[in-house]
Chain A
Amino acid sequence: DQQVKQNSPSLSVQEGRISILNCDYTNSMFDYFLWYKKYPAEGPTFLISISSIKDKNEDGRFTVFLNKSAKHLSLHIVPSQPGDSAVYFCAASSNFGNEKLTFGTGTRLTIIP
């Protein structure tokens, strides 16, 4: 069963506009969430994270929002740049005796110049 779901396999956004990537989870024990970015032929790279005690975390052009009641998080990229074209993975973990990350299946973001 997929405990972390990214229901949009792909997304295209015009350069300069906002990109919004979504992620849903089912396990209420998850208390830490991360976004990773992956270019072809490279490993995933950590982008931004958020703890369940917060509902927003911002780092430059990247903001992650967490809605615990809806078990939903989103990554906002604004403004979108061509270099943002990549696959984005959402991941979640719990510290209650379980230290591993559970990843979503990824969303391929294409920024159109």
Chain B
Amino acid sequence: DAGVIQSPRHEVTEMGQEVTLRCKPISGHNSLFWYRQTMMRGLELLIYFNNNVPIDDSGMPEDRFSAKMPNASFSTLKIQPSEPRDSAVYFCASRKGTLSNQPQHFGDGTRLSIL
């Protein structure tokens, strides 16, 4: 079975540019999560969706970040304009059902470098 698919795997861009990260969750999963991993703060939840509806975006750092889930099989995380401090690994995860006692399945991440 295909797991969570993220693209691109690596992105290097200049400060000020728009960055779009993409995620395809596992088919049949109802919840989708975007995380950011940094050395200082570890894995931080940015936003999550249940049944394509954003539930909690309190982790989104600022208005430069936005996320959408237009359908059950696709989500995007956009940063505009990007800044060097946004450099991190961004993970997408999906989960079957909406209860937290079910494990999340992670993609392999997008390593983002903002110069």
| Chain A residues within 8 Å of B, Cβ to Cβ | 32, 34, 36, 41-46, 49, 51, 89, 93-95, 98-106
- List the B residue with the shortest CB-CB distance to A43: B106
**Prevailing SS type, chain A contact patch:** loop
Question: By the criterion CB–CB under 8 Å, are A93 and B103 in contact?
Answer: no
Expressed in whole angstroms, the minimum distance between the Cβ of A71 and any Cβ of chain B is 18
Main SS at interface, chain B: strand
Quick one: closest B residue to A105, CB to CB? Answer: B42
Counting from the closest, the 6 A-B pairs by CB-CB distance are A43-B106, A105-B42, A46-B103, A93-B100, A103-B43, A99-B100
Q: In the complex, what's the smallest C-beta–C-beta distance from A111 to chain B, in angstroms? A: 22
- From residue B105, how far is it (CB to closest CB) to chain A in Å? 7
Q: Is the CB of A106 within 8 A of B42?
A: yes
A101 to B48: give the CA distance in the assembly, Å. Answer: 10
Q: How far is the CB of A33 from chain B (nearest CB, A)?
A: 10
Given A95-B101, A98-B100, 16 more pairs with CB closer than 8 A: A32-B101, A36-B106, A41-B109, A42-B109, A43-B4, A43-B109, A44-B43, A44-B106, A49-B103, A93-B101, A99-B31, A99-B48, A99-B98, A99-B100, A100-B45, A103-B43
